[in-house]
Amino acid sequence: MRLALSKAMMSLAMGCLGESRREWAFAMQGEFEAAVEEGRPLAFATGCLMAAWREMPRHPEGRLALTSHALALGLLIPMAALQFACAIGFPSAPQGSGLIHGMLAAGWTQAPYLVSAQQSAVPALLFLRLLLGAGQLRLAWVLLERDWAQAFNIGALIAAVMVTLFLFMEVLFLNGLVLILQVAVLAIELSAVLVAARSHAQLSLDAAPEILA
Amino acid sequence: MPRNRRPSKQMLTLLEALAARAQHWRHGYDLMKETGLSSGTLYPLLLRMTEQGLIEAEWREPAQPGRPARHTYRLTNAGIALARAAERPVAVPVSKVAIA
């Protein structure tokens, strides 16, 4: 069990060091065998993992990995949670975030003659909100996988869904302005994904001459 | 622009261990045992010192078949000069010795 855990930690450490520190990763891996023979694999692997984590901000690939994780965990997943909260109507959803029940109640007060039309639109609104949430979760996943083709497709889908939602709400005389903040956050998200894709492409270009050599 | 920094305590310990047998190639794990430094301290230190030109590294074939190759280390001339300077009461900044 200890050995398996140590090996897993060594694999993680090697992954964190990235291509630019590949030689050092193999150097650590080579010494790991000596640590196993001495009966101290866990302490050795823990040290290597800590060193690899500390090293991450110092090389471009590590910085890209940290930025991608921060973007996924700090922005994309919370935004997806917000979309689900708005769709399902969690009480914790912030006021003015486009909570569907609240929007409909306000719409019914302002335009009572549209109640039946707005009620019939609820499934479509729910579907669009859930699609936005699922799209952002998927975007977080492909961002970490660095699958940029998928990321651009999902980004385009999310943008299209957001525009559709906005138009749909305007047609139904619901207050579409509540989406403005979310549109702004979405623009930031998609710009950040684009920057991450460009950084990754640049890293690949920089690494290409070394691979060819 | 290189920074004029005094060698850290861990770096001095490593320099001392490597300078004791300056011409010998040493394995990382042996250096860990000799200096008492953890792998989390030793490897970043070896990496920095190699980048500063104080240490040279070389791959060695494994002693037993089926084992991975091992990295070995020894001081460069700049590293030996820094180790000697560090033995004196007034320490010489790393960058000056590395440039020399």
Kindly report, residue by residue over B17-40, the tens digit of the pLDDT: 999 988 889 999 999 999 999 999
Give a yes or no: residue B52 inside a domain. yes
Q: Determine whether the interchain pair B43/A27 forms a contact, defined as Cβ–Cβ distance below 8 Å.
A: yes
Residues of chain B positioned with their CB less than 8 A from the CB of A50: 40
CA nearest A23: which of B73, B98, B11?
Answer: B73
Chosen from A16, A23, A24, A38 to mutate, greatest number of chain B CBs within 10 A:
A24
pTM of structure: 0.63
Residue B59: its H or E element: strand B55-60
Give a yes or no: residue B85 inside a domain. yes
Q: Determine whether the interchain pair A38/B29 forms a contact, defined as Cβ–Cβ distance below 8 Å.
A: yes
Q: Rounded CA gap, A101 and A104, in Å? A: 5
Give a yes or no: residue B67 inside a domain. yes
Give the range of the structural domain holding residue B31, as residue numbers without chain letter. 9-99
Distance of CA A154 to the CA centre of its chain: 12
CA torsion angle A197 A200 A205 A211 (round to 10): -140
Give a yes or no: residue B60 inside a domain. yes
Least Cα separation, residue B78 to chain A (angstroms): 22
Q: Rounded CA gap, B13 and A205, in Å? A: 40
Residue A148 contacts B, CB cutoff 8 Å: no
CA nearest B2: which of B55, B44, B53?
Answer: B53
Tokens representing A82? 């917000």
Tens-digit pLDDT profile for residues A52-77: 888 888 888 888 888 888 999 999 99
Say which of A21, A24, A47 has its CB closest to residue B38.
A47
Tens-digit pLDDT profile for residues A81-125: 988 888 776 444 455 545 566 666 665 566 667 777 777 878 888
Please give the residue of chain A at the shortest CA–CA distance from B37.
Answer: A47
Least confident of A124-138, A151-165, B9-23, B58-72: B58-72
Any idea what the CATH number is for the domain that residue B71 is in? 1.10.10.10
Give a yes or no: residue B36 inside a domain. yes
**Strand, coil or helix: B70:** strand
Residue B40 neighbours by CB under 8 Å, 6+ apart: A46, A47, A48, A49, A50, A51, A54
Q: Rounded CA gap, B60 and B92, in Å? A: 32
Predicted-complex ipTM score: 0.76
Give a yes or no: residue B1 inside a domain. no
Domain tally for chain B? Answer: 1
User: Between A94 and B56, whose confidence is greater?
Assistant: B56
**Strand, coil or helix: B90:** coil
Say which of A30, A44, A47 has its CB closest to residue B71.
A30
Q: Rounded CA gap, A171 and A188, in Å? A: 27
